[in-house]
Amino acid sequence: MPCLAARINRGECAAVGFAIIVIARPLLSVAGTDLGASLTPFSEGAAVGLLNAALALATAVGIVASGPLAQRWG
């Protein structure tokens, strides 16, 4: 399966993808928190707390669910 172009091998493609994720993830986290605080109809503190609680729950569920999913469909 080609990765972006026929001249790029899988290792280089993985390195580029990792670099993009490392750069984009903090930006998305900050933007999501800012949007959650800005667009809420109630207090900003409660909205940020609720957003952080949802992110923590999603992280915990993802960690627990990823093992059986990877074992099943590998």
pLDDT digits (tens, 9 = 90+) for 10-47: 788 888 889 999 999 899 889 988 888 888 888 888 88
Using CA atoms, how far residue 46 sits from 30, 42, 51, 53, in Å, is 16, 7, 9, 10
What pairs with residue 5 in β-bridges? 3
Q: What is the mean pLDDT of residues 52-62?
A: 93
- First-to-last alpha carbon distance for the chain, in angstroms, is 18
**Cβ–Cβ < 8 Å for 28, 9:** no
| pLDDT reported for residue 65 | 94
Return the domain boundaries, the chain. Answer: 10-73
Does residue 4 carry a pLDDT above 70? no
**Cβ–Cβ < 8 Å for 10, 3:** yes
